[in-house]
Structure 1
Amino acid sequence: MNTLDNVAAFPITGIQIALNIAVAVICGFAISFVYRNTYRGPGYSIAFANAIVLLTMICALVIMTIGSNVARAFGLVGAMSIIRFRTAVKDTADIVYVFFALAIGMAAGGGYYNIAFTGTACVSIVIYLTAWATRSVLHKQEYLLQVSYEANGDEVPAHVSLLRHYCRTHQVINTRSLGEDGERLEVAYYVKLRDKASGERFVRELRQASGVSHVNLYFDEEQF
């Protein structure tokens, strides 16, 4: 049975390192596959699906590096504390997948292959079951809208009136500054259109709105 004390007492071999990384990569691809096949939200990201694989592998490397060395663990915490993560998580499901990948990466890095494979299989089955269960509930259409515009003090942006006209509901999920002066902003919304066929006209009018420089409307069906 592997323990952190054993890792410290007996240096890990090259074969063990390669095997731990291989297990992490296999499980990472499995988690990514589950994400690609079960996620139906408007915030779906191919980049995130690929990042899951890398996150699992990197976590395994971190666990192998730290072992039972407390100084290394504190050094890692110190290094991470100076990093500023600016990417906002748009969906709680993304957080679940991040923790899923971290947990499996820790198991693989510690040499607990049974935990890594069994954990990946069990959690994946539960995700598939919950995804299947939600398909029998109310179906609705949502979109992810990104708008970049020049802020004008406390005045309401010109595109807001178009949101009220074309959308049944709109919810701000992320706001970030695109310039050092803070006058140029990018806002992400979850929107539900009143008329599905009006999407192109909606985007065209948004681009013509005062101060708006860039518009993206991502179409994706989501089942609840």
Structure 2
Amino acid sequence: MGNEVTNFNDILKNSFLNESMFGNLSAIDILLGLLTAFMTGAFIYFIYKITYKGVLYSPSFNLTLLIMTMITALVIMTISTNVVLSLGMVGALSIVRFRTAIKDPLDVVFMFWAIAAGISSGAGLYLLTFIGAIVIGIVIFVLSRKKHTDIVYLLVIHYTEEANDEVKRELQKLNYTLKSKVVRKKHIELTAEIGLKIDNTSFMDKLGELNGVQDVSLVQYNGDYAV
């Protein structure tokens, strides 16, 4: 009677030793998964290239997105054939640390997109991979082409103390936010954030004509760095 009693540990052990826990992938399944990952990664590569709005386009990062999609698919196909191996791989991947700084938040979106596409490709969900890629690609493309009513710029002015009042008077005519002001031996550097609906920069000529103003610079600003 005692030998017939099966506890939870025995069930778990028998489950892991069962042959059904180990699967095999055919060469066709592997090629289809990698081909789907490659096609989706190439589509992500194309969308990233035509919608990039940052300071400096990085071909190496874009290529990384394509390769990441294929590698993720390969990892998913590997762990899907062996439950024991999947647990070990999860532990191995948990110690990986990526220290590369991501300057553009949209780059993180593309990285998650590449990983998600690789997961669905490796799991054999080819229709989901293609439909998801098309829908996400259209959304990113449409939003990237949307025109903003206000374009934000940084206005940098170098002037002496004698022009301080006149500079303030001219700045009051603009919708500006003071970002920084540095004073060095009666020489002042003022940085202000302004929003312009059209490319009307006539105010720069007025500022440049003031006595004591040395130079006036205007650069586009996206929230993190100037363009």
Considering the TM-score relative to the shorter chain, is it more than 0.5? Answer: yes
Counterpart residue identity of residue 28, structure 1: G
Give the structure 1 partner of residue 36 of structure 2: 23
Runs of 4+ in 1 over 6 A off after TM superposition: none
Give the structure 1 partner of residue 141 of structure 2: 128
What is the CA distance between 1:48 and its match in structure 2? 1.2
What is the CA distance between 1:168 and its match in structure 2? 4.4
Give the structure 2 partner of residue 35 of structure 1: 48
Counterpart residue identity of residue 136, structure 1: H
Please give the alpha-carbon distance, in whole angstroms, between the structure 2 residues aligned to 1:21 and 1:8. Answer: 23
Of the candidates 149, 157, 173, which is equivalent to residue 137 of structure 1? 149
Q: Percent identity?
A: 36
Contact 1:57 1:105 in 2 (8 A): yes
CA distance 1:69–1:9, change in 2 (3 Å): closer
- 1:81-100 counterparts in 2 under 5 A? 81-100=94-113
What is the CA distance between 1:219 and its match in structure 2? 7.8
What is the CA distance between 1:137 and its match in structure 2? 3.0
Give the structure 2 partner of residue 80 of structure 1: 93
Flag structure 1 segments of 5+ consecutive residues without an equivalent: 1-6, 143-160, 170-193, 198-217
Which gives a bigger RCO, structure 1 or 2 (Cα 8 Å, sep 6+)?
1
Give the structure 1 partner of residue 80 of structure 2: 67
Q: List per-residue Cα deviations over 1:140-173 (Å, max 9, x = no partner).
A: 468xxxxxxxxxxxxxxxxxx79x948547xxxx
Give the structure 2 partner of residue 195 of structure 1: 217
State TM-score, norm by structure 2: 0.58
Contact 1:64 1:110 in 2 (8 A): yes
Give the structure 2 partner of residue 49 of structure 1: 62
User: Alignment partner of 2:99: what SS?
Assistant: coil
What is the CA distance between 1:68 and its match in structure 2? 5.6
What is the CA distance between 1:86 and its match in structure 2? 1.5
Q: How many residues align?
A: 151
Q: List per-residue Cα deviations over 1:58-116 (Å, max 9, x = no partner).
A: 00000000006332222222222333321011121111111111111111111111011
What is the CA distance between 1:43 and its match in structure 2? 5.3
Please give the alpha-carbon distance, in whole angstroms, between the structure 1 residues aligned to 2:55 and 2:21. Answer: 45
Q: List per-residue Cα deviations over 1:1-50 (Å, max 9, x = no partner).
A: xxxxxx96651111211111011011001011101111202253222111
Q: CA RMSD in A?
A: 2.9
User: Alignment partner of 2:145: what SS?
Assistant: helix
Flag structure 2 segments of 5+ consecutive residues without an equivalent: 1-19, 155-181, 194-215, 220-224
Please give the alpha-carbon distance, in whole angstroms, between the structure 1 residues aligned to 2:21 and 2:56. Answer: 42
Which is higher, the Rg of structure 1 or of structure 2? 2
Contact 1:35 1:49 in 2 (8 A): yes
State TM-score, norm by structure 1: 0.58
Give the structure 2 partner of residue 202 of structure 1: none
User: Alignment partner of 1:27: what SS?
Assistant: helix
